[in-house]
Chain A
Amino acid sequence: MVTSPRSLRPILLTLVVAGLAVAGTAGAYFMRARRDVTTSSEKAWKAYHEASENDLKMYEREAMSGYAAALQEDPHFVMATLRLADKMRGRDPDRAKSLLASAARYRDEITEREKLVLRIYEERWGRRDMAVLGKLFDEYVERFPNDPEGYRLRANHLSNVNRNEDAIAEYERLLAINPNYATAYNVLGYYWAERGDFAKAEDFLKRYRYLAPDQANPFDSLGEMYARIGRYDEAEENLLKALAIKEDFFASYGHLGSVELGRGHPEKAAAFFRKAADAASGPWIRADFQFLAVLALFDAGKTEEARKEFDEMTAEARTFPAGSEADSMALNTLFRRTVFLARVGDAVGAEAALEALEKAVPTEGEPEKMKGYARDLRFVRGLVAFKVGRFAESADLFGKVLSEGGPSGLGGTDYYSRTDTARILLAGSLSRLGRKDEAEKALQPVLARNPRYQPALDELARIHG
């Protein structure tokens, strides 16, 4: 033991204690766990890590193949199994369920955090009891307060139960923990864009783009937002950058189509929608873009080409394998046929299709889903009424469609804005009824948001003769 002058002992004592504290903190920092998932393979962990990154970038294909590669390296890799199941759920529900069951077999070999994630997946795909799910998310955040994933999962859950403001608060908490969690900014950007606060949306989306300049989606999101408010050049610039980063990023083609629609170039829009359809990662999305191309072609006066496109789309829909997905696709096709016939001007055919559609739409199911069907039906009815010249009816129906509107969830993508279309059709109906002031007023929200939205400007011009 070193003897020291008595006068220096208190100083030395304090220094020793402080030194131990610093050393302890440093030790704890360097000794902390570097991995948060259970796997026996370094390659599997790397593949999983890469796939997660792609997941956050919304590179669906790459994410899926990454998770699959991780599983190939380590078949017992529970988190990779769960993530892959999540991705497969929309495409192959049976395969997804099988993967979930496979992951559950290794329940005893995984960490507490992974066990909790497993329970969440089981509940989401099993009983789907929102109260139980809510408690599981709460438990996750409480036990792992520094894991941003917990906040993201809870935010998604809150959004699913229509607690959108709570969901946004959850994202803000997430960013307080990790200000570099890029996709949170994307969500916040969409949220505020949906609520009409485009300045805020732009702020968040720019942060998103700043954090992920190597990804296509941030440029795409910002381009989409600019397209919605008529800043077409900036929109086009960002969307082209997104495609430069990832040339098969279908959403950007779709948004370029929206830009051209807004500019009043429906034929160009149709071309982009076609490209989007070609690049789409799944049949549902492809079908959506095909139909958008059909509508754009109609707008461009290319009826024949539109018909051809429509036929191609319906032919592909028929190839869907039998099952719940095929039924949904068939219902979707029926909706689109009704719209198509109305746009062609086939009043009888449209009326018949509408009748068939009304019969095909399910009357029981999840309330939110039922509300959606009702709204879609009302829109299609309004369109048919407008095309057959029943303007009072169409005005009434579009008025109802718009009154039911409002922000939907955390916001989403709408390449051919149904709300804007409903307003233009309402204005058209009202003007034809001689209620020009009301017609003009109906267009105001659209033009207030995007004074360069050509279809609305065309309608306004028509109203003023």
Chain B
Amino acid sequence: MSVLSPDPSSPEGAGGVPGRSRSPRPLLVFIGVLACLLAVLSVVDMFMPKAYDGVVPDPYSTGGIVVRDLVPGGAAEKAGLRTGDTVLGIGHRMLNKAAEAPPELRRHGAGEAVDYLVSREGEVFETKVILTPFRLGSASYFYFAFLGLLFFVLGAFVVSRRPEDPAVQVFYVLCLLFMLFFICRLRPSSYYWIDYVVQVAGTLALFLLPAVFLHFFLLFPAKKTFRFAERAAGVPPSARWLGTLQRFLNRSPLLLTLLYTLPPVLYVLQMAGAHQGRLRRLIYGAPTLNWILLADYLILGLLALAHTWWTSEDRAQRRPILVLLLGTVAGIVPFVVFAVFFPSLFREDRYLAWGVVPMAIIPLTFAYAIVRFRLFDVEVIVRKSLVYAILTAVVTGFYALCVVTGNALVSTVSSSTLLASPVFAFGFTLVVVLLFDPLRRRMQRVVDRLFFRDRADFQHALLEMSRSVVSQLERPKLRALLTSRTAELLRLESLDLLLPRAEDGAFADGSGAGAGLPALPMGAVLPRLVLEKGVPVRLAELDGWTLDADSRAFVTAAKRRPVTVLLPLATHGKLLGLLAVGRKRSEEELSREDLDHLLTIANQGALGLEAAGLHEELTKRAEMERDLDIAREIQTSLFPRALPRVPGVSFFGVSRPARVVGGDFYDFLEVDGDVRKGGRLGLVVGDVSGKSIPASLLMVAAKEIVYARAMADPDPGVVFREANRRLYDIKRRMFVSLAYFLFDPKILSLTYAFGGQPTPLLVRAGAGAAVEIPAPANRLPLGAFREVPYDTVTFYLAPGDLLLFYTDGLNEAMSAEMTPYGDERLKASFVRHARLPLPELADELLEDIRQFTQEAEQYDDQTFVLMRIG
């Protein structure tokens, strides 16, 4: 919402225009055309050659026309008339006042000799005045006409942009009245029928103008609300009549009616009084009291604007209002002083022009405020080249004026022949040439600051935002940039970003701000069409398109929101999202420039979205890498740093993880003292579901629990039951396959319990086959159920026995055809290489598996421990 636009959400609105009222455009156009016709009529009349005597009459004289001035070289001057003479009659008709001259002159043509009856210093004489063709439109009238045109252009421009805004409508009427006042009222009599028409129009404008002026400043920038009768809590209530007055001023439609009818009523009363001889004086055809009322209204209007400025807390709003206030005061105050009070109080209207000329400041100030501050939410694109051309022309004109003035001054004060010298002319030209460019540059800087700073700021902000969009890798921030910030920069009512939902890929507004816009399924026609067009698609255009039901539902909802344009966010032919662009706050159509900006932002946004996606993926991957590193470290720490040294027994362990981190482990522990001195040796082989830090941690936990329990009670079944309960409590739905073997070197016994692990393979010395050692009854993985009655099995070994403790990664290794390696192949391989030293045996086992799986990916860790007796 612009700082200077009324809040449409306000229940009363700025002017209370009912939403269902018909469009005011025809009425506004009619009024404008009518005013223009009158103005054109007046201007044509002023600049159309007519028979004229060159007498400038004193408008207030009676008993004849007192000659206040004579047009130099005019007919009257040639006929010998002098200032101060009284023209008693023209064309053999007696005249009482200046207003009676027009019909008389109208009867004659240019070049005709007309008899004038003149009184000079008491002597009456007749003289012939040969009327000359004359254009009444003087330089001052030309200025008035220009001023009127300026007002008209300003008013028409603003109303063409914001015809629905009540304040703009009143402003437009105000501009038209100013135009009529300047063009139809401040004009000399033309002695033609047009005079009657335009003077009546000018008088009407004079009556309406002050009221409209006040009306405008009661509406602008927002409807003024009077609160003088309100009291803070604890303060005694104000008088009842004050409350009534406040209600009247704030709500009653009679206020405006009163404002508008007072001047004409006053006029009628005074003119009625004039018939009874009570009217003392008319100033330019209007009674003094009307002029004073005009001044009062103007001052009240200025006070209303000053009050708005004073009470406004928004700095951004205060600045343009201050500019308007200063400009309007600079235009109005001289008018009130020289054009109203001087003629009214001192009966002096020679300085009328001094009061009218500065009024040009008013339209110029408004125009400046529109360009500079987007007054009325109207945006104007001022082309620099045009402004610079005007600037150059102004500077050139200024220099020309300097030359003329300089010459005039020098020739006045000096009779030197210097001026006649070509050296002087050359020197002067040189000075002008030298000074021209510096002055132009200096002024250009000022112009840039005055007119283009905001524009440049806007472009800069847009550029910055574009850069931010590309560099922003966080989606929420990117969304905010693409929606809120863009809407703010382009002054949009709404801007929604629709992105594919993770779950179904449908385009939806995930922010919740785009309430009312349904999701567009991935397969809907609309996203594809928008992508194919690749340019902004106006919603209105879609009416002619064949759409599926989802797209139609979306379009209907979008029109309700209202959305005006859809833009694709796409890269490399892939639609990453949709921008649903709402209306401009100014209610103007989106300009080509706006759409260009939006398309640029959409393209940048698409790149931003793509970059954000890549960034998210990379981040995930990096996080995974980090996790795996940690898991790997943990896992590495679980494997024994060195193999146990047991006399007569050799061990070898291998673990080949499937990915970066494996879930398998094995370890040795001395349960009851040094194994070399007869202590028992524990072997733990495990496999945790999942390959991650949690799996590793669970593995650590399982290992530590087993170790702790094993130290207290070395019976594997007991250890497993205890460990199972603890692991169940730690982590649900994550299991640990574990096998715990307690080897007693003294008696070569192996006591053990399994939990989800494959049964170890045994090759006896001289045997040609591998067998499984006896398996316990309960072999469920640890952590699957709270209570599992794990049992312990003891098996006695013999010298020459070769044992293979392994995880399922060996027998379940998959070929490319998804065929498992299988127990039989494992056993065969184990037997085949049983005579080899343990490290080589381990290599061959793995090589056989690799041969089987070929290039197929390894899905599970491959961990095993080899143990040979003797």
Contact = CB atoms under 8 A, between A and B. Distances in A.
A278 interface: no
B260 A207 contact: no
Contact of A18 (B92, B207, B257): B207
Interface string B103-132: 000000000000101010010111000000
A7 B21 contact: no
Contacts of B17: 5-7
A211 to B, nearest CB: 6
Q: Which of A7, A15, A199 has the most CB of B within 10 A?
A: A7
A3 B25 CA distance: 12
Contacts of B92: 210-213
B450 to A, nearest CB: 32
Interface string B241-270: 000000000000000110111001000000
Contact of B124 (A6, A8, A206): A206
Contacts of A3: 21-22
B126 A210 contact: yes
Contacts of B332: none
Given A6-B166, A14-B207, A199 B16 contact: no
Contacts of A206: 117, 124-126
A22 B167 CA distance: 29
Interface in B701-750: none
A211 B88 CA distance: 11
A198 to B, nearest CB: 12
B658 interface: no
A17 B264 contact: yes
A319 interface: no
Contacts of A179: 94-96
Contacts of A6: 15-18, 21, 166
A207 B219 CA distance: 59
A8 B18 contact: no
B256 A10 contact: yes
A4 B17 CA distance: 10
Contact of A11 (B96, B115, B117, B212): B212
Contact of A7 (B117, B126, B219): B219
A30 to B, nearest CB: 13
Contacts of A210: 88-89, 92, 94, 115, 117, 126
Contacts of B119: 203
Interface string A1-36: 011111111110111011000100000000000000
A206 B125 CA distance: 7
B200 interface: yes
A13 B257 contact: yes
A374 to B, nearest CB: 40
Contacts of B115: 210, 213
A207 B88 contact: yes
Nearest to A181: B94
A7 B212 CA distance: 10
B207 A8 contact: no
Contact of B93 (A15, A180, A203): A180
Contacts of B260: 10-11, 13-14
Contact of B166 (A5, A10, A211): A5
Nearest to A8: B169
B24 A207 contact: no
B173 interface: yes
B197 to A, nearest CB: 10
Nearest to A4: B27
A206 B257 CA distance: 55
A174 to B, nearest CB: 12
A8 B27 contact: yes
A207 B94 contact: yes
B27 A211 contact: no
A22 B208 contact: no
B43 interface: no
A210 B88 CA distance: 10
Contact of B208 (A2, A5, A11, A203): A11
A236 interface: no
A7 B169 contact: yes
A20 B575 CA distance: 66
B370 interface: no
Contacts of B264: 14, 17-18
A207 B89 contact: yes
B27 to A, nearest CB: 5
Given A199-B122, A207-B94, A10 B215 contact: yes
Contact of A8 (B22, B24, B89, B95): B24
B170 interface: yes
A18 B260 CA distance: 12
A202 interface: yes
Contact of B15 (A4, A7, A22, A212): A7
Contact of B173 (A11, A17, A203, A213): A11
B525 interface: no
A180 B94 contact: yes
Nearest to B24: A5
B204 interface: yes
B215 to A, nearest CB: 7
A109 B125 CA distance: 48
A202 B166 CA distance: 66
Contacts of B126: 206, 210
B142 to A, nearest CB: 28
Q: Which of B21, B24, B94 has the most CB of A within 10 A?
A: B94
A255 B172 CA distance: 72
Q: Which of B24, B124, B166, B200 has the most CB of A within 10 A?
A: B124
Contacts of A8: 24, 27, 169-170, 173
Contacts of B207: 14, 18
Nearest to A182: B94
Interface string B52-74: 00000000000000000000000
Interface in B159-178: 166-167, 169-170, 173
B247 to A, nearest CB: 18
A176 B117 CA distance: 18
A262 B219 CA distance: 84
Nearest to A200: B122
Interface in B193-241: 200, 204, 207-208, 211-212, 215, 219
Contacts of B16: 6
A175 to B, nearest CB: 8
Interface string A177-207: 0011000000000000000000100110011
A248 B257 CA distance: 70
Contacts of A18: 204, 207, 264
A203 B18 CA distance: 69
A5 B21 contact: yes
B270 to A, nearest CB: 15
Contacts of A9: 256
Nearest to B259: A10
Contacts of A207: 88-89, 94, 117, 124
Nearest to B64: A179
Contacts of A10: 211, 215, 256-257, 259-260
A215 to B, nearest CB: 11
Interface of A: 2-11, 13-15, 17-18, 22, 176, 179-180, 199, 202-203, 206-207, 210-213
28 contacts: A4-B21, A4-B24, A4-B27, A5-B17, A5-B21, A5-B166, A5-B169, A6-B15, A6-B17, A6-B18, A6-B166, A7-B170, A7-B215, A10-B256, A11-B173, A11-B260, A13-B261, A14-B208, A14-B260, A18-B207, A22-B200, A179-B94, A202-B124, A203-B119, A206-B117, A206-B124, A207-B124, A213-B115
Interface of B: 15-18, 21-22, 24, 27, 88-89, 92-96, 115, 117, 119, 122, 124-126, 166-167, 169-170, 173, 200, 204, 207-208, 211-212, 215, 219, 256-257, 259-261, 264
Given A5-B24, A10-B215, A17-B264, 4 more contacts: A2-B27, A5-B27, A7-B169, A176-B96
Q: Rank and list the top 8 A-B pairs by shortest CB-CB distance, nearest first.
A: A179-B94, A7-B166, A10-B260, A210-B117, A10-B256, A5-B24, A206-B124, A7-B15
